[in-house]
Amino acid sequence: MTTFTDVLARQLRADSARPLITFYDEATGERVELSVTTYANWVAKTAGLLADEHELERGGVLCLDLPTHWLGPVFLGAAWTVGLTVVGPDEAGTPDAVVCGPDGLERWAPYAGSMPVLACALLPLGVRFADPLPAGVHDVGIEVWSQPDAFGAWDPPIGEDAAYVVDGVPTTQQQLWSAAAAGSLLTDGGRLLTEANPASPPGLATFAEPLTKGGSVVLVVHSGPGRLEAIETAERATARFP
C-alpha cells in the first residue's frame, strides 16, 4: 500500500459497511457517521470538485484550513486521490487552492480572484451557507453535490508523491501509510476516540492509522470531560488520543 487510493480500495474490499468516521459536535448535538462506502463516495465527489471543477492537478498544493470536523478527512482523501500536496494555513505560501471553514473566510476571501477558495459551512449534512459568501468564494455545500459518485484520476499519484508538508519538509504518500501501519495509537480493527484535528499535522495519524488498520475514529468537538467519557463508553472506543 503506497497511496491513499490503494489503502481505501483495500478497506472497501475488506468491510465496506463498517463505520469509519463518527463525528460529534456537542455544541449543536450533531452526530454524523460515515461508513467506508459513504466516506469513499464523499471522497470521489470532492476529488471531482477539486480536479474537474477547479482544474487542480497532480503535484499541486492544497491549503487545508479546517477545524476538527468530518470534512477534514474527506478533503485529505480527495487531495491525495488527485495527487495534491496538503499544507496547513501557517505554511501555505502560495497554494493552488484553499479549503476553509467559516472562520477562515476573512483571511482567504481576498485571494478568491487569484485561486479557488472553497468554503465549508460545517453545517449538518454538509449543506450550504445560509448567507451569501464573499465574491468569488465557492460554497462546497452547493458545488459538491453535482459531482459524480466515482472518480478516476487521469494522472494517478504514486507513492513518491508528497502527501503533506510540515516545516518545509515533505512526507510522501508511501511514508505516510507505512508510518500509519506501524503506528501505536490503536490495534488492528480498533476504535479511536479523539478531539485532535485530523486535518492538521499533529492529528493526522488519528485518521491515517484507523483507515490503514481496518479501524475507525470518533471525532469529538466542544465536549467537557464527563461527556467525553460518556461518548467513549457509548461508542465502545478501544483507544483514546491524546
Sheet arrangement for strand 162-166: 138-139, 117-119, 97-100, 61-65, 85-87, 162-166, 169-172
The number of beta carbons lying within 10 Å of the beta carbon of residue 157 is 24
- Of 100, 73, 71, 70, the closest CA to residue 88 belongs to 100
Chain segment 36-79, per-residue pLDDT in tens: 999 999 999 999 999 999 999 999 999 999 999 999 999 999 99
Strand partners, 217: 21, 192
CATH of 4-241, one of 3.40.50.12780, 3.40.50.300, 2.40.50.140, 3.30.1450.10: 3.40.50.12780
Q: CB–CB of 108/116 below 8 Å? A: no
Q: What is the mean pLDDT of the chain?
A: 96
pLDDT at position 1: 75
With residues binned 3-state (H G I as helix, E B as strand, rest as coil), the percentages for the chain, rounded to 5, are 40, 20, 40
> H or E stretch including 194?
strand 191-194
Residue 118's identity, in one-letter code, is: L
What one-character-per-residue DSSP string does 112-140 give?
TTTS-EEE----GGG---SSPPPTT-EEH
Domain boundary assignment for the chain:
4-241
Chain segment 170-224, per-residue pLDDT in tens: 999 999 999 999 999 999 999 999 999 999 988 999 999 999 999 999 999 999 8
Instruction: Give the three cell numbers for residue 13.
Output: 474490499
Whether the full predicted model's pTM is greater than 0.75, yes or no, is yes
Q: Is 29 exposed, middle or buried (0-12, 13-18, 19+ CB in 10 A)?
A: exposed
